[in-house]
Structure 1
Amino acid sequence: MKRVIVALAAAAAGAGALVCAPPAGADVVAYLVNVHVRPGYNFPNADAAIGYGNSICDRVAAKMGYAQLVDQVKADFRTADYYQGAYLINQAVNELCPAQIWQLRQSAAGYTG
């Protein structure tokens, strides 16, 4: 019986920690590292990279379709490489505006490129 009580207390404490955890926030440093390590973007400085990433976040928040978003990013970087466009979109949303992850997933559902 004592083990059951201890287990229940531990479970309740763990659940309380999950409820009190702060929401995920932006990680600008991770975004900068990831977009500067991968070749092809050639941002002149960190501010330009962050500004472009934030513009991606704004387009996702405005519910721009995934296909259109990928096409815009590819055009901006003069590439036909889908992965280069998708990588930057994913990095921006995951690191700069994680609250938009669900919206990005919704817009990308069914995308076949």
Structure 2
Amino acid sequence: MRTLVSALVSGLALATPAAATEPFHTANFPDHTIVSLSLVGNLTAASGEYDYDVYISLSTASTDGYGSYSDPSRHKASVRCHAPEAVAVRGVSYPIPTATGGGDWKDDLWRAVCKPPVS
């Protein structure tokens, strides 16, 4: 479990601290740990290849009451909403399978940014 959380943190570029908002992705693990990723900011992308530069916060909680952690950093990713749909983290572009629904955090991030809910 700790390896997965470390991989999530190290897989995202560090930026500045921010408060978290509603999670766009939550993962539950057998050891009662819940990892949540929240979108805490977005800007028009600095690169013409992407639509948005976004910032993500990471937090963990334990369902058995043994603690929680909120990463004080913000982690940067870039999102391309148009074809070919992608999320880029630390210079690596990950294609988003919009037709299949996906399910990992990058797919959920793309949906949160590119497919906002309609009220």
Higher helix share: 1
Q: TM-score, normalised by structure 1?
A: 0.25
Larger Rg: 1
Q: Which has the higher contact order (CA 8 A, sep 6+)?
A: 1
